[in-house]
Amino acid sequence: MFTPKIPPPDTAPTPGTSLVPPLTGLVHPPACTCHHTPTAPAPAAPPARPTVQLTPGSLLVAAAGGTAMVLVVGTVLVSMLLATAITAASVAICAVVLRVLLNRPNNR
């Protein structure tokens, strides 16, 4: 009952044969019925890229924007750290108060 059942050798497919029959006799119609000769497309010129010119004013604006971004990200990270520290301190105080209340049941 628990032994594997192996198919007899005459029903198992051989490694050289395929289970899917090959497709034969299929003819694709042409994309269009007009009789023109295809022409080679002209080589496309690379698109002209705009050049970036840094003037002293734009350089000053970029530096001010970068400084503002650093200050905003720093403020957010410091506030998140402060919120975590305040939460940890309040949880520690609550744990101490609960421990004191539970260890002295006679003082009620």
Distance CA 18, CA 22 (A): 9
List the chain pLDDT tens, one digit each, 108 residues: 678 777 666 666 666 666 676 677 777 676 777 776 666 666 777 777 777 788 889 889 999 999 999 999 999 999 999 999 999 999 999 999 999 888 876 655
* DSSP 8-state code for residue 87: H
pTM: 0.43
Distance CA 104, CA 108 (A): 8
